[in-house]
């Protein structure tokens, strides 16, 4: 995801990671800092974010959201980054 973020960040693409309720906040902070994650990471300590996005249970679960806020694609597990990047490029061309 870092490579995808770096590839598209200057084109209006944003990435937000969300921890799971069972992830201790100190672990999340250490993970982000030690791996130099370049995008925002939210701590979902109540599970409300996971529930709001379809009761996410498995990680990684990723969503691609268009400029109008609509979910375009949901990935459970590691996405095919070639396909993901192509879809992002296509969505960024839309007005």
CATH of the domain at 69: 3.40.30.10
Average confidence (pLDDT) per 10 residues, the chain, 95 residues: 97 96 97 98 97 95 96 96 98 90
* Structural domain of 6: 2-93
User: What pLDDT is stored for residue 45 in this prediction?
Assistant: 94
User: What pLDDT is stored for residue 76 in this prediction?
Assistant: 96
User: What pLDDT is stored for residue 83 in this prediction?
Assistant: 97
Q: Can you point out the beta strands (E) in 1-95?
A: 16-18, 40-42, 61-65, 71-76
Q: CA 19, CA 78: separation in Å to the nearest integer? A: 16
- Domain total of the chain: 1
């Amino acid at each position: 995801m870092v490579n995808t973020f770096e590839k598209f960040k200057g084109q209006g693409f944003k990435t937000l990671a969300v921890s799971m309720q069972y992830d201790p906040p100190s672990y999340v902070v250490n993970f982000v800092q030690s791996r130099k994650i370049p995008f925002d990471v939210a701590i979902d300590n109540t599970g409300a974010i996971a529930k709001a996005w379809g009761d996410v249970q498995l990680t990684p679960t990723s969503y691609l959201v268009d400029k109008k806020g609509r979910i375009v694609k949901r990935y459970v597990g590691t996405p095919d980054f070639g396909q993901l990047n192509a879809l992002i490029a296509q969505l960024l061309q839309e007005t």
